[in-house]
């Protein structure tokens, strides 16, 4: 945790990590508070409507014990992967805590994933059990035959044939379950992240990842937690942003989190939620903030009373930065990180660390810089790659079953990010583009390879490439350039059919919002797509 010091230079100089020899995320975020304040609200769940259902820390501790016990009785062993395929709801939290207590590995998956995306991740991770709802169970039924390691599907909507019911399992579990004695390096969770080549990679994290995130949450949220704090984010808890920037750190600090599923981000509904449920701290990605900006006098009209507002996942921009002060009477604190090493750069207006257009300075405890290809540090304003120095408690253990990819992520002791930027003479870092072709849309990092692989499965597609196209709202959108097979002709109907094909098989944020039919793709002599030429076509 950050010491109570308001000077950035002083706090950075004094900060030292103190990672205990034994640590379990589940115990830290549930049992500690259950012992001292069992009636304290942990989750304010709006999943079933406007009337909130409150999950207290006492109930979280007991129900997670029961689920951990039940999972163990089913045969889930320490170190095995258990997937969570659910929207924001209390059962997600109970599941995460139970998995950590069991010593298993939590694999959060977004509800919007299609069957192809699910099948790859579940097979690659060798998932033993999936906790989902009826919609997720229906998707799994189509691919379960291809998942030999998947022994159990558990539904929050109740039992159905071979699907176990979530609540009946809780009733069978023991409330006195003893959590596994885990160390900070023991695997706790895995989050898949996309790259430009090959399939998505599972970034495996140890239990220490939560402790590593704490300064990165406290810094942009200006002394978090303070009296009256309550957190909310529209970001899916299946992503690092929702899970590690909001949910788990808030519970660690005993701060209640509002849960509400948005099938699509609705700015009016978001403003109403923050007002009606006394949200004081929010993480809202830049795309969502741009949508909020379209609501006239947003903060004042809805009587939103935020203490802190942070944003990350893509560039915020000077216009939205300025609008935040006008709309909410506060400065939006921008932050930066990756699934592999998250929340390492940030702004904190309360400490005077804030500059329009910048993603901030290194969060105390982390060593970040802009480096050259040989690993040496760039001079001020010299462009290079943003990198993080190891060891660092927030850094991943490695890519799941991908030691070569793990080694390639590092230049010496610098973990490279693939993001190009510059550092000015005051230490502020400015992001200005990627050195690969990952598409950032509405805060999601999308690997073109996975989109292209899905496109190629469409019966009309001969070859395809996906690139990011600049978009005023989403930052970028996915645009597909497609060469059709003989016998097929370009048409609006075919374009719509291809879009729907990808949307149902991957996810709603990965499908190409624009499709262009071309005679041939621009290729290098070695057969690689020249994406730059496609991007230049707009």
Q: Percentage of residues in the chain with pLDDT exceeding 70?
A: 96
Domain boundaries of the chain, sorted by first residue: 24-41+55-205, 439-536
CB 498 within 8 A of CB 508: no
CB 392 within 8 A of CB 345: no
**Residue 534 pLDDT level (bands cut at 50, 70, 90):** very high
Burial 425-456 (b: 16+ CB within 10 A, else e): eebbbbbeebeebbbbbbbbbbbbbbbbbbbe
**Residue 47 pLDDT level (bands cut at 50, 70, 90):** confident
Please work out, in degrees rounded to the nearest 5, the angle formed at the alpha carbon of residue 141 by the alpha carbons of 139 and 146. Answer: 105
pLDDT at residue 506 above 70? yes
Q: Two tokens at 12?
A: 């950075």
CA 410 to chain CA mean position, Å: 22
Task: Express each pLDDT in 413-426 by its tens digit.
Answer: 999 999 889 999 99
- Mean local confidence (pLDDT), 432-445: 77
Task: Express each pLDDT in 62-100 by its tens digit.
Answer: 999 999 999 999 999 999 999 999 999 999 999 999 999
CA 310 to chain CA mean position, Å: 15
- Most confident by average pLDDT, 122-136, 253-267, 297-311: 122-136
DSSP per residue, 370-391: EE-TTSPBPPTT--EEEEEESP
- Measured from the Cβ of residue 277, the count of other Cβ atoms closer than 10 Å reads 16
CB 259 within 8 A of CB 273: no
**Residue 525 pLDDT level (bands cut at 50, 70, 90):** very low
Q: Which architecture does CATH list for 439-536?
A: 2-Layer Sandwich (3.30)
**Residue 286 pLDDT level (bands cut at 50, 70, 90):** confident
Which residues, 6 or more positions from 491, have their beta carbon under 8 angstroms from its beta carbon?
Answer: none
pLDDT score recorded for residue 512? 96
At 207, give phi and psi (nearest 5°): -60, -25
CA distances from 493 to 71, 497, 501, 516 (A): 47, 6, 12, 13
Q: Two tokens at 339?
A: 């699934």
CA distances from 282 to 169, 205, 326 (A): 34, 24, 17
- Mean local confidence (pLDDT), 354-368: 95
End-to-end CA distance of the chain: 46
pLDDT top residue among 185 and 327: 185
Range name among 130-134, 450-454, 457-461 with the lowest pLDDT average:
450-454
Average pLDDT over the chain, rounded to an integer: 92
pLDDT score recorded for residue 526? 43
Task: Express each pLDDT in 486-504 by its tens digit.
Answer: 999 999 999 999 999 999 9
Task: Express each pLDDT in 106-152 by its tens digit.
Answer: 999 999 899 999 999 999 999 999 999 999 999 999 999 999 999 99
Query: Taking the complete model, does pTM exceed 0.75, yes or no?
Result: yes
Task: Express each pLDDT in 364-407 by its tens digit.
Answer: 999 999 999 999 999 999 999 999 999 999 999 999 999 999 99
pLDDT at residue 296 above 60? no
Q: Which architecture does CATH list for 24-41+55-205?
A: 3-Layer(aba) Sandwich (3.40)
At 504, give phi and psi (nearest 5°): -80, -20
**Residue 285 pLDDT level (bands cut at 50, 70, 90):** confident
**Residue 196 pLDDT level (bands cut at 50, 70, 90):** low
Between CA 363 and CA 336 the distance in angstroms is 10
């Amino acid at each position: 945790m950050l010491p109570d010091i308001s000077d950035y230079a002083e706090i950075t100089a004094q900060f030292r990590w103190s990672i205990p020899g034994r640590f379990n995320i589940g115990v830290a975020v549930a049992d500690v508070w259950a012992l001292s304040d069992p009636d304290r609200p942990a989750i304010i769940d709006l999943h079933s409507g406007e009337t909130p259902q409150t999950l207290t820390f006492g109930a979280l501790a007991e129900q997670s014990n029961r689920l951990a016990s039940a999972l163990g009785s089913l045969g889930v062993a320490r170190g095995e992967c258990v997937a969570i395929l659910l929207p924001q709801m209390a059962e997600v939290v109970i599941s995460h805590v139970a998995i950590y207590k069991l010593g298993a590995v939590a694999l959060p998956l977004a509800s919007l994933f299609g069957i192809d995306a699910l099948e790859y991740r579940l097979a690659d991770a060798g998932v033993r059990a999936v906790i989902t709802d009826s919609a997720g169970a229906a998707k799994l039924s189509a691919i379960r035959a291809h998942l030999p390691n998947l022994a159990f599907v558990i539904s929050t909507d109740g039992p159905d044939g071979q699907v176990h019911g979530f609540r009946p399992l809780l009733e069978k579990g023991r409330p006195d379950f003893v959590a596994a004695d885990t160390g900070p390096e023991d695997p706790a969770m895995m989050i898949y992240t996309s790259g430009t080549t090959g399939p998505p990679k599972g970034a495996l994290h140890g239990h220490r990842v939560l402790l590593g995130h704490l300064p990165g949450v406290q810094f942009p949220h200006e002394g978090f937690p303070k009296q009256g704090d309550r957190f909310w984010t529209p970001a899916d808890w299946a992503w690092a942003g929702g899970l590690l920037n909001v949910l788990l750190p808030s519970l660690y600090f005993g701060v209640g989190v509002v849960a509400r599923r948005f099938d699509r981000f609705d700015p009016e509904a978001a403003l109403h939620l923050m007002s009606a449920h006394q949200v004081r701290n929010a993480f809202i990605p830049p795309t969502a903030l741009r949508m909020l900006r379209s609501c006239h006098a947003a903060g004042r009209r809805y009587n939103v009373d935020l203490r802190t507002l942070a944003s990350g996942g893509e560039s915020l921009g000077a216009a939205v930065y300025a609008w935040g002060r006008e709309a909410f009477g506060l400065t939006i604190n921008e932050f930066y990180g990756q699934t592999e090493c998250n929340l390492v750069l940030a702004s904190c207006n309360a400490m005077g660390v804030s500059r329009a257009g910048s993603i901030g300075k290194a969060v105390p405890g982390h060593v970040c810089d802009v480096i050259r290809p040989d690993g040496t540090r760039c001079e001020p304003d010299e462009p290079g790659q943003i990198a993080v120095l190891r060891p660092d408690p927030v850094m991943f253990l490695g890519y799941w079953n991908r030691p070569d990819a793990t080694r390639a992520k590092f230049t010496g002791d610098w973990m490279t990010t693939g993001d190009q930027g510059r550092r000015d003479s005051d230490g502020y870092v400015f992001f200005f583009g990627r050195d690969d072709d990952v598409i950032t849309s509405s805060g999601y990092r999308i690997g073109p390879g996975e989109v292209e692989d899905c496109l190629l499965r469409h019966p009309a597609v001969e070859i395809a490439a996906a690139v990011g196209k600049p978009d005023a709202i989403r930052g970028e959108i996915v645009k597909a350039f497609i060469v059709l097979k003989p016998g097929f002709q370009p048409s609006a109907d075919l374009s719509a059919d291809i879009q729907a094909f990808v949307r149902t098989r991957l996810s709603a944020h990965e499908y190409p919002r624009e499709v262009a039919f071309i005679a041939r793709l621009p290729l290098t002599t070695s057969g690689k797509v020249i994406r730059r030429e496609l991007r230049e076509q707009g």
